[in-house]
Chain A
Amino acid sequence: MPVLWLFLVVLALTGSGFFIGRQRALASAKGDSRNLHSRLPYYGTHAAISVIVPSLLVMAIWLFVQPLVVSSAAEAVLPQALLTADASAGLLMAEVHRVGAELVDQGVTGPLAALVPAGTTAELIPAIELYVANTHTGHLWMSIAVILVALVMGGLALRPINAEFRARNTVERTIMALLIAAASLAILTTVGIVLSMLFETINFFGLHSWTDFFFGTTWAPNFRGDSDLSILPLLWGTLYISLIALIVAVPTGLFAAVYLSEYAGPKTRAFAKPLLEILAGIPTIVYGLFALLTVGPMLTTLFSAGGLLGVDWMKGATSVLTAGVVMGIMLIPFVSSLSDDIINAVPQSMRDGSLGLGATHSETIRQVVIPAALPGIVGAILLAASRAIGETMIVVMGAGALAKFSLNPLESMTTITTRIVSQLTGDGDFSSPETLVAFALGLSLFVLTLGLNVLALFIVRKYREQYE
């Protein structure tokens, strides 16, 4: 628990920094806050930020680095005899970690032989002892370092405070720095994700020919080492299902949006719009269940042999159409909610202009409002498309798992995302091409959706320029 206590101490120091900063400023202004350069709270905030940001930073870095150092020290004293026998260093260290962390939590110090829980490998006790001792020392030094940093930085911040000190400007700058840090964190994570996929993808292309991946026509992983791993049948399934989903979602969503923004009264709107937005938040697995339990069987009763229509078009229980329709239903609120916002952003003066020329309501919508909103609507549709392409659960439950090229929407097919899941789950060796292909698929998917999103953003941005 030293971490929690340390955190509370830092908070307390931050609070004191705030009040001392305030007092110093006020004293230097002879008690009249109007003599200050900035408003009073800025001085306190300046001191508080100077205390809390560097000390928490030190703490975070320390908490990240310390376990690495402690582990490598403990690993060095692992008994060689055990290492060579039946367990790898990783397994032994896992035990050291588990037992050590438990003892650290209990606050144990000194010789441990008696306290180690039953069942612990006796030969590991020296390593565990070292682990516990080092962790305690580390925490002690961390507390000292963090408090020292807090005090020094607080002192440095408090010294220049007087009536002329431009506290507001420094606070503004610090806040900007914090915001930049948050933004960079988000961007760096994305870069990290892409890089990690990229390395695994490079590994994959070292083991498997890239021409087969991009231009082959068969997806047939096996464990004999001669798998056909081509993205094309999966890409076909992905695009086909997404296309059906968009055919369902775009007209329905768009008409709903036009009704909501142009015809519905304020009461209907106040009730229907939040409802649609709630629909947009339903987890896709629920839609998957709908596909599995309702839409799939319904299509089977209609189209399978002996079905109501007396045709034999649908062989199995799953189909592209099932997944596509359900995915389309999932996307309706998404499309309608975005389009509704966009249609509402078309200035009323545009409608007045058209109505004032004697156009009817629907002529106005068709010829003025929709064209004016079109770039934004296209952007919304592209966003919906990238969601459809990335969707997994509905496909698993609705479309089946067969990778093939076919135009028949009543056949099973599969998509990139579901194959990623199935290649990574299971007992596959992590360095075989059958597993690594998941990363190549993931990267391709990333590039595809990124392209769509960039296109959507580009179009939406162009649209914004029109009315501002």
Chain B
Amino acid sequence: MYDAPSLEKNVDQKATKIAAKDVQVYYGDTHAIKDVSVDLLANTVTAFIGPSGCGKSTFLRCLNRMNDTIDICRVQGDIRLDGEDIYDKRVDPVQLRAKVGMVFQKPNPFPKSIYDNVAYGPRIHGLARGKSELDEIVESALRRAALWGEVKDRLDAPGTGLSGGQQQRLCIARAVATAPEVLLMDEPCSALDPIATAQVEELIDELRENFSVVIVTHSMQQAARVSQKTAFFHLGNLVEYGDTTQIFTNPIDPRTESYITGRIG
């Protein structure tokens, strides 16, 4: 699929949103990501799978420069968002993060009201011109996160008072409200029960219409259910990257096969 097929033949062909080339990440002396090159597509859900400690989170955090907040972390290589080098000196990581939103493993609502949680990003970036516009942004973000019905009568209640699943959907709403182009999710369901997980997965599928979504997951079933592309990491290397159906039915690399059949943990 990298050989530029003509558009007529492949109407599903998506543009590359993020292109990473020869990325290396070091934590002090630890070489955590080795030579990773990958093209993440627009309007696609990409799953990162692999055993614990293989560098999935680390690579994900390179994509919005969250690794800048860790003192000992060094990133080398070339990562481009829409063709623009995000590690260029002229790029402000703060602006980048507004374009590349992130949802974390543990729900981390701010100790503020539900409304203020969602309005946080829009306020910081000045996305709304008035109170009514902000209200609209908050409502639509909460609707997209499938949370509006449950919280519309208590927008002033603290976000920390919601259940775990609701908190995670609130965090997704918070990320969506900032109107990012890419949404990074680091094991967003690992702290959730099966019902909440199903809701979040449904949500991810809908988000694909407007965003590129990258999701780190430990559950192979989840990767198979929600993603169109899958990348398998092992010991800091990107072992295999391809269509999800191909990775799960017909993996090329023996390590991928061992992992998805449960032989590497």
Q: Using a CB–CB distance below 8 Å, which chain A residues touch chain B?
A: 265-266, 347, 349-360, 363, 367-368, 371-372, 466
Contacts and interface: CB of A to CB of B under 8 A. Distances in A.
- Shortest 8 CB-CB distances between A and B: which pairs? A358-B98, A356-B102, A358-B97, A349-B108, A353-B108, A357-B121, A372-B111, A359-B124
A377 to B, nearest CB: 13
B52 to A, nearest CB: 19
Given A353-B171, A466-B160, A358 B124 contact: yes
Contact of B108 (A266, A352, A371): A352
Interface stretch (B64-72, B148-156, B200-208, B223-231): B64-72
B110 A356 contact: no
A266 B175 CA distance: 31
Interface string B74-111: 00000000000000000000111111011010101111
Given A352-B66, A372-B111, 14 more contacts: A349-B104, A350-B108, A352-B104, A353-B174, A356-B64, A356-B101, A356-B102, A356-B104, A357-B102, A357-B178, A358-B94, A359-B120, A368-B110, A371-B110
Interface in B223-253: none
B112 interface: yes
Contact of B111 (A265, A358, A359, A466): A466
A354 B110 contact: yes
A282 B146 CA distance: 57
Nearest to A368: B110
A266 to B, nearest CB: 8
Given A355-B66, A358-B95, A358-B124, A347 B108 contact: yes
Contact of A265 (B71, B95, B109, B110): B71
Contacts of B9: none
B263 interface: no
Given A367-B120, A466-B160, A355 B110 contact: no
B124 A357 contact: yes
A368 B117 CA distance: 10
B125 interface: yes
Contact of A357 (B106, B111, B112, B175): B175
B104 A354 contact: no
A360 B94 contact: yes
Nearest to B66: A356
A468 B69 CA distance: 25
Contacts of B102: 352, 356-357
Question: Counting chain B CB atoms within 10 Å of each CB, which of A355, A360, A367 scores highest?
Answer: A355
Contacts of A347: 108
Contact of A356 (B71, B95, B97, B106): B97
Interface in B154-207: 160, 171, 174-175, 178
Contacts of A353: 104, 108-110, 171, 174
Contacts of A363: 124
A357 B108 contact: no
A349 B124 contact: no
A306 B30 CA distance: 68
B94 A359 contact: yes
B97 A355 contact: yes
Nearest to A357: B121
A349 B103 CA distance: 11
Contacts of B95: 358
Contacts of B101: 356-358
A359 B95 CA distance: 8
A359 B108 CA distance: 15
A365 B59 CA distance: 26
Contacts of B99: 358
Interface string B41-74: 0000000000000000000000010100101000
Nearest to A359: B124
22 contacts: A347-B108, A349-B106, A350-B108, A350-B110, A351-B69, A352-B69, A352-B102, A353-B104, A353-B110, A356-B66, A356-B101, A356-B175, A357-B120, A357-B121, A357-B124, A357-B174, A358-B94, A358-B96, A358-B99, A359-B94, A371-B112, A466-B111
Nearest to A367: B120
A321 to B, nearest CB: 37
A349 B168 CA distance: 13
A357 B104 contact: no
Contacts of A357: 97-98, 101-102, 120-121, 124, 174-175, 178
Question: Counting chain A CB atoms within 10 Å of each CB, which of B101, B102, B111 scores highest?
Answer: B111
Contacts of B97: 355-358
Contacts of B71: 265-266
Contacts of A355: 66, 69, 97
Question: Counting chain A CB atoms within 10 Å of each CB, which of B101, B108, B174 scores highest?
Answer: B108
Nearest to A266: B71
